[in-house]
């Protein structure tokens, strides 16, 4: 698949539709679905293939995140907290690999 343009069209099976709906329910408000899907895909690459994507976003704590955290409801805040735990686990695993 070529990623030369910023728009991609995919066919969505019934199983994929269910998964996408679940992802949409847990994605933080203010974050696009495509950004969240990329985050989930990156998590898979790192945790299940050992592959670390070459390009990392360096400014991950932008002003948007301050707004998201300060303006989200209780359920969204719990989802963000769970995502932070997953991120911390990723960092811890990476550090362990680097030290061994």
21-72 per-position pLDDT tens digit:
998 998 888 888 888 888 888 888 888 777 766 655 545 556 677 778 888 8
Dihedral of CA 62/65/55/37: which sign? negative
Give the pLDDT of residue 36.
85
Helix axes 63-71, 74-99, angle to 10 degrees: 130
Q: State the pTM of this model.
A: 0.48
Give the pLDDT of residue 54.
64
Give the pLDDT of residue 7.
81
Give the pLDDT of residue 34.
86
């Amino acid at each position: 698949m070529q990623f030369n343009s910023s728009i991609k069209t995919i066919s969505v099976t019934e199983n994929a539709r269910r998964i996408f709906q679940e992802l949409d329910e847990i994605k933080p408000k203010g974050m696009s679905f495509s950004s969240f899907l990329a985050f989930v895909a990156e998590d898979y690459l790192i945790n299940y293939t050992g592959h670390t994507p070459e390009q990392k976003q360096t400014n991950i704590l932008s002003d948007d995140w301050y707004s998201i955290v300060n303006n989200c409801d209780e359920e969204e805040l719990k989802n963000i907290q769970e995502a932070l735990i997953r991120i911390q686990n990723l960092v811890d695993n990476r550090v362990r690999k680097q030290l061994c």
